A and B are shown apart, each in its own frame.
Chain A
Amino acid sequence: MAGITTHVLNTMTGRPGADMRIDFSVFEGDRWRLVKSVRTNADGRTDEMVLKPEDTKVGQYELLFYVDEYFAKQGVTNADSFIEKVPVRFSVFDTKQHYHVPMLATPWSCATYRGS
Chain B
Amino acid sequence: MKLDYTSRRTFLATGAALGASAVLSQRAAAQAAQPATSTPAVPGRLTFHGIDTWNGATIGTLRVDIAMLDGAQYRSIKSFDTATNGRSDGALFEGPTFKPGRYELTMHVADYYAALSTKLPSPPFLTLVPLRFNIADANQRYHIAVLFGPWSYAYYRGS
Which residues of chain A have a CB within 8 Å of any CB of chain B? 11-12, 58, 60, 74-87, 89-91, 93-94, 104, 106-114
Contact = CB atoms under 8 A, between A and B. Distances in A.
Contact of A85 (B14, B128, B132, B156): B132
A90 B133 contact: no
Point out which of A11, A77, A111 has the most chain B C-beta atoms below 10 A from its C-beta.
A111
Contact of A90 (B14, B102, B126, B155): B126
28 contacts: A11-B11, A58-B123, A76-B1, A76-B3, A77-B3, A82-B133, A82-B134, A82-B136, A85-B132, A86-B132, A89-B126, A93-B122, A93-B123, A93-B124, A93-B125, A106-B14, A106-B15, A108-B156, A109-B11, A109-B154, A109-B157, A110-B154, A111-B15, A111-B152, A111-B153, A113-B151, A113-B152, A113-B153
A16 to B, nearest CB: 16
B137 interface: yes
A110 B155 contact: yes
Contact of A108 (B12, B121, B123, B125): B12
A89 B130 contact: yes
Contacts of A86: 132
B134 A108 contact: no
Contacts of A60: 123, 127
Contacts of A94: 121
Contacts of A112: 152-154
Given A83-B133, A89-B127, A89-B129, A109 B156 contact: yes
Interface string B131-159: 01110110010000001000111111100
Contacts of B156: 106, 108-110
B130 A114 contact: no
B15 A87 contact: no
3 closest pairs, A vs B, by CB? A113-B152, A109-B15, A109-B156
What is the size category of the interface that chain B forms with chain A? 35 or more
Contacts, number: 101
Given A11-B14, A106-B11, A111 B154 contact: yes
B19 interface: yes
Main DSSP-derived SS at the A contact region: loop
A93 B156 CA distance: 28
A91 B127 contact: yes
A115 to B, nearest CB: 9
Given A81-B136, A93-B121, A108 B154 contact: no
A7 B102 CA distance: 25
Given A89-B128, A93-B121, A93-B122, A77 B2 contact: yes
